[in-house]
Structure 1
Amino acid sequence: MAQHNLGTVISFEFLRTVSKRRFWAITLFIPIVMIGLITLIVASNVSTANTADAQKNARVTFVYTDASGLVDPALATKAGGKQITDEAAGVAAVKNGDSEAFFAYPADPATQTVKVYGADAGLFANGKYSSVAQAVLSASVQERVDSKVYVAVLRDQVQTTTVTFKDGAVAPGFEAIIPALFFVLVFFIVIVFLGNQMLNSTLEEKENRVTEMILTTINPTSLLVGKVISLFMIGIIQMIVFSLPVLIGYVFFRSQLSIPELALSGLVFEPEKMIVGVLILIGGFALFTGTLVAVGAVMPTAKDAAPVFSVVIFSIVIPLYASGFAVSSPDSPIVQVLAYFPYTAPVTALILNAFGTLPLWQAIIIILELFILSAIVLRIAVRLFRYGSIEYTNKVKIRDVLSRRATVEPQAGR
């Protein structure tokens, strides 16, 4: 009967959630926003690139003085320029409208500023003058270099490749970090998008005054475990939907978004990292779920529970802000405190694990801490839910509930 009740709870909670329009509206909202942002970024980058190319290749009639002797007269003439010797005359030509622009190249362009004067063409279009002046000077200098190798160095076109070693073998590098970082993303999504739903699903039954009737047929443990499993199934659906814009952006708009190419076949799945990541993810999820269930059992309404839920989210965000310390200084006191404090441990430990700075002994301690504490919290949550289900208007006093003598749970279905 207990297994039957557990299956009933899972199917009921899952189907009840995925059949709601509100669920799909919330689930699809973020991907739609992400697709919109990707579209805007792509359009903006394309527009910016086109504008830069247009300014760089713009045809401008100009006069110039060259105190450096670096400008090639043939290239300058081809670009629409004419050399003069009087800087004042060049400025006057622009003022009088006789020339679109005037460039005054100094004796040492490396340390002195190239003065650019031009007819006003609009705030953004005025950038074409500086682009043309720089393009003429760069092309002239490159013409003086006979070797293609020197030209490639000047244009910053030299490619490099780096190989690092760890314990006598080639270190996998960033390819080994990405798979382990995936657990951080999963944990964040599950808690942020399912935690509030878990909280409200318990409170909803209290607010609807149906918990007493439910507990006559299902014991609290089966009810809460069923809710957790159903929410995990719902979380998988949400993660798939959320990942679609990322995949679309990477596959079709990688160059426009300046995303580095990533060879998926080159990803390294280190067994120790993956096993540690899974265990921390499960332990952290169980701890936060038990905490939210306990909050739902104590609070009479969702409004009363909202501040507590905000604290839960805050405990997830703090390690993300401190991720810089976790990467650069994993042994610093602040990182170690966050790694051992139960509600900041999952995200912090997952980040340390991904970057290979979480020793196995420390990982074992954190995993045991999460599992043991989650078992205690879940046990307390079940007890609070059993006794707090009839408190519809007042907050349950945790001390009073825990001080009561343990009673035998009512047999479900009896």
Structure 2
Amino acid sequence: MARHNLGTVIGFEFSRTVRKPRFWLATLAIPVVMALVFGLVFISSMASSDSADAQSEAQISFAYTDASGLIRPETAAALGGQQATNPSEAIEAVKGGELDAYFAYPADPHREPVEVTGADRGLFDNGAYEAVAEELLVTAAQAEIGNPALAAAAAGEVSVESTIYRGREVTGGFSEAIAPLMVLVVFFVVILLLANQMLASTLEEKENRVTEMILTTVNPTTLIIGKITAVFMVGAVQLLVFLSPVIIGALLARSAAPAVELSGLHLDPWTMVVGVLLLVGGFVLFTGVLVGIGAVMPTAKDAGVIFGPLMLLMFVPFYAASLIVSDPGALLVQVFTYFPLTAPVTAMLRNAFGTLPPLGAGIVIAELFLAGILVLRVAVHLFRYGSLAYSHKLNLRTALGRGAAPTGQ
């Protein structure tokens, strides 16, 4: 009978959630918004790159004076410039629209700035003047050096390939952190989307004052376990929705270009296993805490007073993200790593950047699961005593004390 009731609760809670249009709107909105953001960022970066290239390759009419003696007339002429005999006349020509710009090169460009006078072409296009002035000076310096290798080295036009070892294994650099950081993103999305769902699931019957009717056929423990299981199932559905565009995109990319491989993405099995365990452990812990809040508080409005600061604790480690990455041994980082409510995010960040040792990872994972299970047990106990508390908060001392009777009895 208990198993039958548990299956009924799970099926009812799961179907009630996934049948709501707002559930799918919220679930589908995340990948759509992410796709739009990534698309806009890509378009913006391409536009910025094109703008930079256009500025560096811009053809403008300019005059120049050269106190350094580095600029050759033929080099300047190739870029659309001519040597000026009178700086004042050149500046007047710019003001009158006869020239686009005038460059005054100092005797020592290393210590003194190149003075650029230009006609206004718009906030962004005005950068073309500096780009051409710098290009002319760099070209002249390279011609003066004569040796192409020395010229490239002086201009910083050298490529560097690095091979970094962690022990005897070659690390993938930042590319190793991409996949574990995606696990962190998934954790945030799932928690933020399911937190309200969990609170609503535990408070809805209480606010509608139908709990007595439900508890005549279902044990309170069975009811809350069924609700928790249904939330886990809903979370699995959301994960599939979030990951499906990535999987489909990867399959389409490989079918369109079979030779293309994700060679730049390094997946370390240990790091991914630790990341997934931290995600699940953190989810169990926060689920237990939310169930406890729903059991204690009579309404969602009252629960929101505690829910807000709880969600804030998830974001606190990001304010110390630079310290977490650069100095993982700092006292604050250690506190964040092992304090249960900040441990998931901090540990996932450290895991992604390779600063979470195996022993520390094992301690945090064990802590999250043990704390999560303990909190869930306490939350189920509180739900048994607080499920009938319609108009007031549950007295924790009474509920957790020995021999306490359920509220309403």
Shorter-chain TM-score tier:
0.7 to 0.9
Change (3 A) 1:41 1:385: same
TM-score between both structures, scaled by the size of structure 1: 0.85
Change (3 A) 1:283 1:42: closer
**Residue-by-residue CA offset, 1:80-133 (whole Å, 9 max, x unaligned):** 222123222222332344433221111122221111122333333333322222
Matches of residues 300-379 of structure 1 in structure 2 within 5 Å? 300-379=298-377
1:403 equivalent in alignment to 2:401? yes
Q: Which of 362, 380, 390 is equivalent to 2:378? A: 380
Partners of 1:236 and 1:56 in 2: CA distance: 50
Change (3 A) 1:221 1:155: farther
Offset at 1:249? 9.4
Change (3 A) 1:298 1:118: same
Partners of 1:206 and 1:11 in 2: CA distance: 20
Any unmatched runs of 5+ in structure 1? 254-260, 409-414
Partners of 1:120 and 1:178 in 2: CA distance: 43
Any unmatched runs of 5+ in structure 2? 254-260
Instruction: Count matched residues.
Output: 399
Contact 2:71 2:137 in 1 (8 A): yes
Q: Which amino acid aligns with 1:17?
A: T
Secondary structure of 1:82's aligned partner: strand
Matches of residues 1-400 of structure 1 in structure 2 within 5 Å? 1-171=1-171, 173-243=173-243, 263=263, 266-270=266-270, 273-400=271-398
Secondary structure of 1:76's aligned partner: helix
Change (3 A) 1:62 1:329: closer
Contact 1:63 1:99 in 2 (8 A): yes
Partners of 1:145 and 1:5 in 2: CA distance: 85
Q: Which amino acid aligns with 1:289?
A: T
Q: Percent identity?
A: 50
Offset at 1:293? 0.7
Contact 2:399 2:405 in 1 (8 A): no
Change (3 A) 1:265 1:19: same
Offset at 1:252? 11
Partners of 1:175 and 1:268 in 2: CA distance: 10
Partners of 2:62 and 2:332 in 1: CA distance: 60
RMSD of aligned alpha carbons: 3.0
TM-score between both structures, scaled by the size of structure 2: 0.86
Offset at 1:220? 2.4
Q: Which amino acid aligns with 1:33?
A: V
Contact 2:138 2:155 in 1 (8 A): no
Flag the structure with more relative contact order, 1 or 2, with Cα contacts below 8 A and sequence separation at least 6: 1
Offset at 1:296? 0.5
Q: Mean Cα displacement is larger for which, 238-247 or 371-380? A: 238-247
Q: Which amino acid aligns with 2:393?
A: K
Partners of 1:170 and 1:38 in 2: CA distance: 30
Secondary structure of 1:60's aligned partner: coil
Partners of 2:42 and 2:209 in 1: CA distance: 51
Give the equivalent residue in structure 2 for 1:411: none
Secondary structure of 2:102's aligned partner: strand
Contact 2:94 2:117 in 1 (8 A): yes
Contact 1:61 1:80 in 2 (8 A): yes
Q: Mean Cα displacement is larger for which, 186-195 or 143-152? A: 143-152
Offset at 1:169? 4.2
Partners of 2:405 and 2:70 in 1: CA distance: 93
Partners of 2:345 and 2:122 in 1: CA distance: 50
Contact 1:179 1:268 in 2 (8 A): no
Partners of 1:168 and 1:50 in 2: CA distance: 42
Offset at 1:375? 2.7
Secondary structure of 2:125's aligned partner: coil
Partners of 1:114 and 1:150 in 2: CA distance: 23
Offset at 1:361? 3.7
